Amino acid sequence: MIPVKIPTVTIARPRLFAGSLLLALIMLLLDQASKQALLAYFPQDQHEIVLTPFFNLVKVWNYGVSFGMFADQRQPLILTMVSLVIIIALLVWLARSTDKVLGFGLGMVIGGAIGNIIDRIRFGAVADFLDFHVAGYHWPAFNIADSCIFIGVVLLCVHSMLAETKPLTKGPLE
C-alpha cells in the first residue's frame, strides 16, 4: 500500500481566523433568521409586498446561481458540491491570511456561501426576497447571504488592488 500524505494547514493568525469565522457565523445566522421570518410571514398565495416606490419584499426561489444563471438546469447537488469546494479553498486562504481586511472579506463570503448552501439542502433552491427597482426596472431579487458574498468579494478586490506586493526572491519555477 502506498502511504498518502495529507497536507496540513497552519493557521497564521489564530485570532484573525477565529474572528473571521465568528463574522461568518453571525452573517449566516442573520441570513437564515431573515429567510425564516420572511418565509413564515408570506401567505402561500402572495409573492410580493410593496413597501416603498423603489423596494418590495418578494418570495422568489433561485434554482441557479447569481442572477438566476443556470436556473433551468435544476442541479442543487452539483451547485452545493461546487460551493463546498470553494468554501474549503476560502478556509485554507483564511488560515494563511495575516490581513484583517482579507479576513473580514473572506468571513463575509464564507458566511454568505454557507447560508445559500443551507437553502439548497433544505429547499433545493435559494430563497431570495429583497427587490429593488426604479422606473419599472428591477434588480434581480437577492438575500442577505448574497449581500455578504458581494461585500466580501468587493473587499477582496479592494485588498488585492491596495495590498503591497512583495518581490519574488526566487523565480516561480525555481
* Domain locations in the chain as residue ranges: 14-162
Q: Does residue 128 carry a catalytic annotation?
A: yes
Which of 31, 119, 131, 146 is flagged as catalytic?
146
For residue 167, what are the β-bridge partners?
Answer: none
The answer to whether residue 170 scores a pLDDT higher than 60 is no
Q: pLDDT band for 94, please (50, 70, 90 cuts).
A: very high
pTM of the predicted model as reported, rounded to 2 decimal places = 0.84
In total, the chain counts a number of residues equal to: 174
146 catalytic, yes or no?
A: yes
Question: Looking at residue 72, what is its pLDDT?
Answer: 55
The tens digit of pLDDT for each residue in 104-155 reads 999 999 999 999 999 999 998 999 999 999 998 888 899 999 999 999 999 9
Catalytic residue from among 31, 119, 128, 131: 128
**pLDDT at residue number 8:** 76
